[in-house]
């Protein structure tokens, strides 16, 4: 009798795993707080690990303008286009070097599948992405699901600009480029 149970479990295991993965695609994301709640926008503060388990904090951006690109699973399909357009705009504008901080917002991913999710990210250590398993950035900055979010922080860590969307918006890209230039210019001071 024990062998029957064992073989039945062996036959059902792939179906259970497939059902679990399918369930991940339909699980609702956690509700986001009301952006109009009147709370102050927090300064840049994070401590997250990338897909290689290397820890990054806001100290890695200290003294530089930081562009944080945050997206959940649905929003991640748009982040590459936004990042490329912003990068080209910054290059054309002659903006100084900035700290790019890519973040995957993954609050609905159960712990037992995190290794599988991390393995789906690039395995080149130069192409790291921070894993926000708790959704702390989405909550702190009131980020809507299913979008790509661009947060521009000045060298002082204050949020200077935010943009979000799905499809690329050239006016929003131009506003991000301008915000990076303004934040970087403010850091250099007059005539700097």
Contact 132, 149 (CB under 8 A): no
What's residue 39's pLDDT?
A: 54
Mean pLDDT taken over the chain: 82
> Is position 10 within any domain?
no
What's residue 37's pLDDT?
A: 41
What's residue 185's pLDDT?
A: 82
Please indicate whether residue 117 or residue 192 has the higher confidence score (pLDDT).
Answer: 117
Query: What confidence tens digit (pLDDT) does each residue in 39-96 have?
Result: 577 889 999 999 999 999 999 999 999 999 999 999 999 999 999 999 999 999 998 8
Structural domain span for residue 157: 41-188
Range 130-142 average pLDDT: 96
> Is position 57 within any domain?
yes
Query: Residue 102 and residue 113: Cα distance in Å, rounded?
Result: 21
Query: What confidence tens digit (pLDDT) does each residue in 46-59 have?
Result: 999 999 999 999 99
> Is position 2 within any domain?
no
Burial track 96-129 (b if 16+ CB lie within 10 A, e otherwise):
eebbebbbbbbbebeeeeeeebbeebeeeeeebb
Please indicate whether residue 2 or residue 27 has the higher confidence score (pLDDT).
Answer: 2
> Is position 13 within any domain?
no
> Is position 24 within any domain?
no
What's residue 97's pLDDT?
A: 85
What's residue 1's pLDDT?
A: 47
> Is position 21 within any domain?
no
Query: Residue 154 and residue 181: Cα distance in Å, rounded?
Result: 10
The number of distinct structural domains making up the chain is: 1
**pTM score of the predicted model:** 0.76
Domain holding 128: CATH number? 3.40.30.10
What's residue 30's pLDDT?
A: 32
What's residue 187's pLDDT?
A: 53
The yes-or-no verdict on residue 164 having pLDDT over 80 is yes
Is the torsion defined by CA of 95, 180, 81, 129 positive or negative? Answer: positive
């Amino acid at each position: 009798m024990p062998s029957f149970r064992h073989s039945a479990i062996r036959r059902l295991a792939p179906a259970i795993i497939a059902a679990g993965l399918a369930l991940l695609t339909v699980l609702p994301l956690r509700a986001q707080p009301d952006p109009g709640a009147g709370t102050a926008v927090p300064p840049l503060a994070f401590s997250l690990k990338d897909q290689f388990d290397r820890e990054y904090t806001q100290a890695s951006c200290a003294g530089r303008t930081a562009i944080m690109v945050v997206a959940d699973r649905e929003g991640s399909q748009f982040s590459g286009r936004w990042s490329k357009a912003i990068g080209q705009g910054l290059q054309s504008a002659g903006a100084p070097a900035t700290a790019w901080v890519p973040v995957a917002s993954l609050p609905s991913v159960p712990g037992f599948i995190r290794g599988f999710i991390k393995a789906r990210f690039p395995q080149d250590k130069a192409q790291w992405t921070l894993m926000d398993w708790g959704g702390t950035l989405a909550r702190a900055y009131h980020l809507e699901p299913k979008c790509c979010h661009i947060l521009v922080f000045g060298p002082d860590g204050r949020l200077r600009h935010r943009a979000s969307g799905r499809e690329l918006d050239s006016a929003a890209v131009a506003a991000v480029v301008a915000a990076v230039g303004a934040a970087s210019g403010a850091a250099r001071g007059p005539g700097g």
